[in-house]
Amino acid sequence: MKNTAPVIYIIDDDESLRHSLDHLFRSVGFATRTYVSTQDFLATDRPDTDACLVLDIRLQGTSGLDFQEQLNEAGVHLPIILMTGHGDIPMSVRGMKAGAIDFLTKPFRDQEMLDAVASALKVDSKRRANHGFLVELESRYQSLTSREQQVMSLVTKGLLNKQVAGDLGISEVTVKIHRGSVMKKMSARTLPDLVRMADALKQRATKDAGNTTV
């Protein structure tokens, strides 16, 4: 069952800071999970809800920056807030280039952390909503017959019904029937809607292929 409360994951080997952040986040209604190491984090399941990771850079074993890159390579798209007591410009640049939402130097004010977490949760909420839409879109696309998929591909490339018919070796009337079925199954109100759907599916396929390569 989906947990409705956003979850803030905290990885820091400083016990006092872990407890402090845990108390801060819980005081404003967030659920929290705290970890001493990245290994502890990886060993536990994560609930299906909006979340972000508050990650210390200087950890024993795997550093926070290296762990951030590992998550990216593994396709774990969790917004990250980096923190350190010894930050410098190269560290912050590396972290932000890798997709960190914010980079906080200890000691930081509670409100700075809460603002960073709020931004991270907005990013995750948007990402999750977009992922859900793409999953639904893929399901609709898979409901099309192979011929309907061919018609959708050609139509969304800008070909007229007559041109589609010529390419596929079928009648224009048949193309119109398939096109109508595609619009209905994909829940597309207009051709531009269908084009946007086709583009979204193509981008997802390209991204998935890239992740597989990695």
- Cβ-proximal residues to 173 (8 Å cutoff; 6+ apart), any chain: none
Question: Please, are residues 120 and 99 in contact by the beta-carbon 8 Å criterion?
Answer: no
Q: pTM to 2 decimals?
A: 0.69
Contact in structure between 179 and 150 (CB atoms under 8 Å): no
pLDDT value for 213: 36
| CB-based contact 96:116 (threshold 8 Å) | no
Sequence length of the chain is 214
Over the stretch 88-103, which tens digit does the pLDDT of each residue have? 767 777 888 878 899 8
pLDDT at 214: 29
Q: Which domains does the chain have, with CATH numbers?
A: 7-127 (3.40.50.2300), 143-213 (1.10.10.10)
Per-residue pLDDT of 196-210, as tens digits, reads: 999 989 887 777 665
When pLDDT is cut at 50, 70 and 90, the band that residue 212 belongs to is: very low
pLDDT in tens, 127-174: 888 888 888 999 999 999 999 999 999 999 999 999 999 999 999 999
Q: Which of 59-63, 125-129, 178-182 has the lowest mean pLDDT?
A: 59-63
pLDDT at 86: 73
In the prediction, which pLDDT does 89 show? 67
